[in-house]
Amino acid sequence: MINKEPRVRFAPSPTGYLHVGGLRTALYNYLFAKHNNGKFILRIEDTDRNRYVEGAVENLIASLKWCGLEYEEGPDVGGAFGPYMQSQRLDLYKKYSEELIKNGLAYYCFCTPERLEALREEQQKQKLPQAKYDKHCLHLSKEEIENNLSKGVSKVIRLNVQSDQKIIIDDIIRGRVEFNSSNVDDQVLIKSDGYPTYHLANVVDDHLMQITHVVRGEEWLSSTPKHILLYEYFGWEKPYFAHLPLLLNPDRSKLSKRQGDVAVEDYRAKGYLKEALVNFVALLGWNAGDDKEFYNMNELIERFSLERVNKSGAVFDLEKLSWLNAEHLRKKTDEEILNLLKVEINHSSSVIHQYSDDYLLKVIAVMKERVSFVKEYLTKSPYFFEAPQEYDKASLEKNWKTETPPQLEKLNEAFSRIASPSKEEFEKALTETAEELNIGKGKLIHPLRLAVSGMSAGPGVFDILVIIGKDETIKRINTSLSKIKL
Partner RNA sequence: GGCGCGUUCGUCUAGUGGCUUAGGACGCUGCCCUCUCAAGGCAGAGACCACGGGUUCGAAUCCCGUACGCGCUACCA
Q: 461 to 480, contacts with RNA by CB under 7 A?
A: 461-463
Using CB under 7 A as the binding rule, whether residue 446 contacts RNA is answered as yes
How far apart are the C-alpha atoms of 254 and 398, rounded to whole Å? 48
Residues between 336 and 375 that touch RNA (CB under 7 A): 369-370
* 171 sits in which H/E element: strand 166-171
Q: Does 55 bind RNA (CB under 7 A)?
A: no
Residue 74 makes CB contacts below 8 A (sequence gap 6+) with 41, 42, 43, 61, 84
Alpha-carbon distance values, 10 to 37, 72, 140, 407 (Å) = 17, 12, 39, 67
Closest distance to RNA from the beta carbon of 113 (Å):
5
Per-residue binding letters, 413-442, with RNA (x by CB under 7 A) = ----------------------------xx
**Least CB distance from residue 346 to RNA, whole Å?**
25
Q: Which of 77, 177, 474, 484 touches RNA (CB under 7 A)?
A: 177
With binding defined as CB under 7 A, does residue 13 bind RNA? yes
In the complex with RNA, which residue's Cβ is closer, 11 or 33? 11
CA distance 402 to 466: 27
Neighbour order of strands in the sheet with 106-109? 106-109, 156-159, 188-190
Residue 134 touches RNA, criterion: CB under 7 A: no
Q: How far apart are the first and last CA of the chain?
A: 76
The 368-387 contact track toward RNA, x by CB under 7 A, reads -xx-----------------
* Cβ proximity to RNA, 177 vs 481, nearer residue: 177
Q: Are 280 and 320 in contact (CB under 8 A)?
A: yes
- Check residue 58 and report its DSSP letter: H
Query: In whole angstroms, what is the distance from residue 410 CA to residue 448 CA?
Result: 12
Query: Active site includes 155?
Result: no
Task: Choose the catalytic residue: 95, 257, 311, 398.
Answer: 257
> Binding to RNA by residue 116, rule CB under 7 A?
yes
Q: 128: which residues sit within 8 A by CB, 6+ positions away?
A: none
Nearest distance, CB of residue 22 and RNA, angstroms: 9
CB of 258 to RNA, least distance (A): 12
- Comparing CB distances to RNA, the nearer of 263 and 357 is 263
User: Is 485 among the residues that bind RNA (CB under 7 A)?
Assistant: no
> Which string of x and - marks every residue 302-331 that binds RNA (by CB under 7 A)?
------x-xxxxxx-x-xx-xx--x-----
Nearer to RNA, 4 or 311 (CB): 311
What CA–CA distance (Å, rounded) separates 345 from 338?
A: 10
Quote the least distance from Cβ 477 to RNA, whole Å.
Answer: 15
Residue 200 CB, shortest distance to RNA, in Å, is 9
Yes or no: say if 195 and 90 are a contact pair by the CB < 8 Å rule: yes
Select 394 or 419, whichever has its Cβ closest to RNA. Answer: 394
- CB count within 10 Å of CB 307 equals 9
Q: Confirm or reject binding of residue 113 to RNA (CB under 7 A).
A: yes
Q: What minimum distance in Å lies between the beta carbon of 5 and RNA? A: 25
Long-range contacts for 384-390 (Cβ within 8 Å, ≥24 apart)? 384/464, 384/467, 384/468, 385/350, 385/351, 385/353, 385/355, 386/350, 386/351, 386/352, 386/353, 387/472, 387/475, 387/476, 387/479, 388/452, 388/453, 388/454, 388/455, 388/476, 388/480, 389/454, 390/454
Half-sphere exposure of 273 (CA within 13 A, CB side): 25
| 301 in contact with RNA (CB under 7 A) | no
Q: In the range 202-241, which residues lie near RNA by CB under 7 A?
A: 218-223
Query: Per CB under 7 A, which of residues 248..267 are in contact with RNA?
Result: 248, 252-254
What is the number of other CB atoms lying within 10 angstroms of the CB of residue 328? Answer: 22
Name the amino acid, one letter, at 166: K
DSSP-derived letter for residue 15 is: S
With H, G, I as helix, E, B as strand and everything else as coil, classify residue 348: coil
Helix H or strand E encompassing 100? helix 90-102
Smallest distance from RNA to CB 85, Å? 12
Report the nearest approach of RNA to the CB of residue 218 (Å). 6
Residue 245 is given by DSSP the state: P
Q: Which is nearer to RNA, 352 or 394 (CB)?
A: 394
Q: Does 457 bind RNA (CB under 7 A)?
A: yes
Question: Which of 118/357 has CB closer to RNA?
Answer: 118
**Residues belonging to the active site:** 257
